[in-house]
A and B are shown apart, each in its own frame.
Chain A
Amino acid sequence: MQLELLISKFQQKDVKAFEELYNMYSDSMHGVIYNIVRDHDIAEELMQDVFIKAWNSASSYSAEKGRFFTWILNISRNAAIDKTRSKAFKNSKKNLDAEYFVDILEHSDSLDAQTDAIGIKKFVGQLAKKCIEVIELLYFKGYTQKEASETLDMPIGTIKTRNRNCIKELRTIVLN
Chain B
Amino acid sequence: MDITAYIESGILELYVAGALSENENREVYKLMRQHPEILQEVEAIELAIKKLTAATAPSRRAGLFENIKAKIVHLSGNAATDSKVIPMVKSKYDWLTYTGWAAAIIIGAGLFWTLNQNNELESNLTTAEIENSYLEEQIANAKTDLAASKNLLNILRDKDIISVPLGGQGEFANTYAKVYWSKKDNSIYLDAQGLPEAPAGKVYQVWSLKLNPLTPTSLGTIDDFNTDDNKIFAIANANESEAFGITLEPEGGSETPTMDQLYTLGVVVTAAP
Contacts and interface: CB of A to CB of B under 8 A. Distances in A.
Contacts of B60: 30, 40, 44, 47
Interface string B71-95: 1110110000110110100000000
B84 A70 contact: no
A26 B85 CA distance: 24
> How would you classify the secondary structure of chain B's contact residues: helix, strand, loop or mixed?
helix
A65 B23 CA distance: 9
Interface string A114-138: 1011001001000000000001001
A82 to B, nearest CB: 16
A52 interface: yes
B260 to A, nearest CB: 118
B199 interface: no
Contacts of B42: 67
Interface string B1-35: 00000001111011111111010011001000000
B69 A19 contact: yes
A120 B55 contact: yes
A116 B55 contact: yes
Contact of B53 (A12, A16, A32, A143): A32
Most chain A CB neighbours (cut-off 10 Å) among B13, B71, B75: B13
Contacts, number: 178
Interface in B104-149: none
Interface stretch (B43-51, B166-174, B211-219, B244-252): B43-51
The 9 A-B residue pairs with the shortest CB-CB distance, nearest first, are: A160-B10, A164-B10, A31-B56, A31-B57, A27-B54, A30-B57, A28-B53, A13-B85, A138-B17
30 contacts: A12-B87, A19-B65, A19-B69, A22-B65, A28-B50, A30-B57, A30-B58, A31-B57, A44-B64, A47-B64, A51-B68, A52-B72, A66-B15, A67-B42, A67-B46, A101-B53, A104-B58, A105-B55, A114-B55, A116-B54, A120-B52, A135-B52, A138-B13, A139-B52, A140-B56, A145-B14, A160-B10, A161-B9, A163-B17, A170-B52
Given A74-B18, A163-B14, A170-B48, 13 more contacts: A28-B49, A28-B54, A29-B53, A30-B57, A52-B71, A114-B55, A139-B49, A142-B18, A144-B20, A159-B10, A163-B13, A171-B48, A174-B52
Interface of A: 12-16, 18-19, 22-32, 34-35, 40, 43-44, 47-48, 51-52, 55-56, 63-67, 69-71, 73-74, 101, 104-105, 108, 110-111, 113-114, 116-117, 120, 123, 135, 138-140, 142-145, 148, 159-161, 163-164, 167, 170-171, 174-175
